[in-house]
Chains A and B, each alone.
Chain A
Amino acid sequence: MPDVLVIGGGNAALCSALMAREAGASVLMLESAPKEWRGGNSMHVRNLRCMHDAPQDVLVEAYPEEEFWQDLLKVTGGLTDEPLARLVIRHSSRCRPWMRDHGVHFQPPLSGALHVARTNAFFMGGGKALVNAYYRSAEKLGVIVRYDTPVKSLELKDGRFIAAITESGERITAKSCVLGCGGFESNLEWQREAWGQNERGEWTAENFLIRGTRFNQGVLLKFMIEAGAETIGDPTQAHCVAIDARAPLYDGGICTRIDCVSLGVVVNREAKRFYDEGEDFWPKRYAIWGRLVAQQPDQTAWSVIDQKAIGRFMPPVFDGTQANTLEELAVKIGVDPVTFMETLNAYNAACQPGTFDHTALDDCRTDGVTPAKTHWARVIDTPPFYAYPLKPGITFTYLGMKTDATAACRFGNAPSDNLFAAGEMVAGNVLGKGYTAGVGMSIGTAFGRIAGVNAAASAGFSHPTFKEELAYAAGH
């Protein structure tokens, strides 16, 4: 019987397994996916949002705790738990040496992503390289990893973990357990039910694409909810961005995003604009556009640009629909050309003179059109014209286990003394809604490590070095 059972195979689960093993516990990891798909959503991640008070290797300038906190407060609209958020923030400032020790490499910010050079540390090779490094380190330290082993339920007694029951019916006992097995984003049926029917009678989530793994079915999340664990979060809240409608249903990852929204206009199926495309820098707005598109008919929209925008945004993975006139473009994408021309003509007529600068909040804005476009508003008049179809892309869901600074699961307002949760399963404590790039990894790494250490502690093992780091993170 292993001391610590870790259920899951992504970043948080790996952090837990590594920390528990470092503490001296024997660790068994159960990853539901086969080896080639291991790592859950972590195989798609790009960077870690990091607090730092001074320049640090790949991070320039400073990103102090308070600024990180304010950013988080803004994107969540206050739907966050301040002590836990600050724990995550402070932890992010000191965790990278440990990550490096386990083989993670950082690289300077990617070209075209310089706006986050100050706030985010990029993984060299991305998330799959990080996941590979953690698996190599885990295996070297003696963590036993079993792939293709989905768990269907747990055996609990008075809020204590007794055993996990796999899909194949195997019963695996352990002294303690960490749940790091993700949200329910991949479960289309659950998404459909959570989002329900809109006023047009559409099942909104039927048109969603999942940006990441197909393996986050939320099986244990559902089990825990039914077992009476305290939960947090609204099932329709998620990291949800507007991505290319032609992306695959699962695992489209980073490359399917469309970055030209702020350089043009976005119209829905009725050929009408519906939101200020130039409200703020795209990296600060991409996370609201998923929901915006989800509210449109057919959960579809098109980002429309002209030749002037080409070469000014990260190249998309799919070619846009191209046309030499706007009417032709409307016909090609299948929206009503008359309404489309009314929308574009109204927008073009409303564009005020200004000095275009896509690297600043410039003074190119519209006047007299609703919705307004407040920056980067330039007349769309230079052929060829391009349109990129958009759909909501769900990265991960926020419904999860309510927890505290120990990462313990809770039953009847009391923490379990040997069942912990990490990663997407607890992200909702910090992220009630909204998203800011790289914070998912900050949360996953913090709670993953804490859950691992506490699971080892409840099995009688003390981590040799984490206490001081944790005391700092906890603000003691």
Chain B
Amino acid sequence: MPPVTELEAPVAGGACDGGVNFADALTAGEAEIARVMQICNACRYCEGFCAVFPAMTRRLDFNAADTHYLANLCHNCGSCLYACQYAPPHEFAVNVPQAMAKVRVRTYQDYAWPRAFGKLYERAGLTVAFALSGGLALFMILAIAMNGRLIHEPLAGNFYAIFPHNFLALLFGVVFLFAILALGIGVTKFWREVSPTKGGDLADIAAAAKARVPAAAEAVSDVARLRYLGGGHGEGCNEDDDAFTLWRRRFHQFTLYGFLLCFAATCVATLYHYLWNFHAPYGFTSAPVILGSLGGIGLIIGPVGLLWLNMRRDALRADVKQNAMDRGFIMLLLLVSATGFALLLLRDTRFMALWLAIHLGTVMALFLTLPYGKFAHGIFRSAALLKFNIEKRMPNRLGLGGE
């Protein structure tokens, strides 16, 4: 019978007695996914909940790439755990969300670029703490070095009296582009590993090419609507017990769209500055301030709610080692919006430079940790959803006729 595997040393196969002949050696975490999926594949009761189970039914065994793909396809909604007849205390000890979570964080780490920086995931709390203290120190020191002090006579909200615009644009531009590059290289490595046409023939390549556009559209919709936090029936996912709730989806939407609105505010301001030579400070009714304020509200409601849910989440399905990564990222988002509002309110006072340094330091910490923290989940999960939407449009090699 399927033993409860120990999650330590790498093992070569062995989901059940007799052993599964995996082509490549799996880590303990990957082997646990393969073991659990072999049980799930013989049951399939959870097919309606999410994308993981339909993806599973296209396979008879699970190699390392499959486990990486499925781990990132899983949203940890919890539905399958509470519905599972084989969940602990059953001797099969099936816990899909936890098995997936453990491998998922390993994929962020293993696909990180530069590779050595993946280590930062192992000390996620420390990483956020260093990034935040470093960012704050950097801008405090810069403010003092460039202006001699942090408290000053009111400057009518003119940030550029403290830090010249081009200096900020260059500094953040470089860091942001690096983050994009690092995430881009990471997700490209991931995609090559799990590509729907990997090992496929010409027919597969043709089918995938044909599927690409509709699949991309559906993947975008899956992400934009957070479809798989709906539980498959639209009543939401689980938090502390078997009851469903839509609050995780709602808070995540506040966070996602809050983030995007803040990003839009920055883009609009950049256009104002370079295209129309229209410089900050912008009025309370200007597009950058309205977008930024709406985004900021989202980034307060969303992270506070997600943090609250995260603290209540049933430990049975969590990988508690990831709490620091999850909560560190949530706290950073919250701090970015909170300091942004403080700056907006205090920009006409003597404390503008201080709060500008605090806000910019926090934003810098967020940017620096984008490729080495929880933010990566959005990139990898989107890629997994794209693969899912391509794959489901390709012919299924299995023809299960019987029960």
Contacts and interface: CB of A to CB of B under 8 A. Distances in A.
Interface of A: 36-37, 43-44, 46, 105, 107-108, 110-113, 115, 122-129, 132, 136, 246-248, 251, 253-257, 259-260, 262-263, 281-283, 286, 310-322, 358-359
Nearest to A322: B18
A364 B1 CA distance: 35
Nearest to A105: B233
Contacts of A263: 402
A110 B85 contact: no
B45 interface: yes
A112 B85 contact: no
B18 A128 contact: no
Contact of A311 (B20, B79, B243, B400): B400
Contact of B397 (A112, A311, A313, A321): A311
A347 B115 CA distance: 58
Nearest to A437: B403
A36 B89 contact: yes
A112 B82 CA distance: 23
A128 B49 CA distance: 14
A317 B402 contact: no
Given A37-B89, A44-B85, A105-B48, A283 B403 contact: yes
B18 A321 contact: yes
B403 A113 contact: yes
Contact of A110 (B44, B60, B84, B399): B44
7 nearest A-B residue pairs (beta carbon) = A125-B83, A126-B45, A107-B48, A255-B42, A129-B83, A112-B400, A319-B18
Given A125-B46, A255-B42, A112 B403 contact: yes
Interface residues of B, number: 45
Interface string B207-236: 000000000000000000000000011010
Nearest to B94: A255
A405 B88 CA distance: 39
- Interface centre among B38, B86, B92, B403, by most A CB within 10 Å? B403
A107 B403 contact: no
Contacts of B399: 311-312, 358-359
Given A128-B84, A255-B43, A248 B91 contact: yes
A354 B255 CA distance: 61
A254 B82 contact: no
Interface of B: 1-2, 15-20, 38-39, 41-49, 54, 57, 60, 79-80, 82-86, 89-92, 232-233, 235, 242-243, 397-403
Contacts of B83: 124-126, 128-129, 132
Contacts of B398: 311-312
Contacts of A254: 42-43, 45, 85
B42 A111 contact: no
B48 A125 contact: yes
Given A111-B47, A112-B400, A318 B1 contact: yes
Contact of B402 (A107, A108, A251, A259): A259
Contacts of A247: 1
A248 B1 contact: yes
A283 B401 CA distance: 10
Contacts of A123: 45
Given A125-B83, A132-B242, A358 B402 contact: yes
A460 to B, nearest CB: 33
Nearest to A58: B48
Nearest to A125: B83
B19 to A, nearest CB: 7
Given A128-B83, A262-B402, A313-B400, 7 more contacts: A111-B54, A246-B1, A255-B39, A257-B42, A282-B402, A315-B42, A321-B18
B314 to A, nearest CB: 13
B342 to A, nearest CB: 43
Contacts of B79: 125, 129
A126 B38 contact: no
Contacts of B38: 315, 317
B84 to A, nearest CB: 7
- Interface centre among A44, A126, A317, by most B CB within 10 Å? A317
A115 B400 CA distance: 11
A257 B17 contact: no
A107 B232 contact: yes
- Interface centre among B1, B46, B242, B400, by most A CB within 10 Å? B400
A456 B202 CA distance: 66
Nearest to B233: A105
A125 B91 contact: no
Contacts of A125: 45-46, 48-49, 79-80, 82-83
B57 A128 contact: no
Contacts of A316: 42
Contacts of A312: 398-402
B42 A317 contact: yes
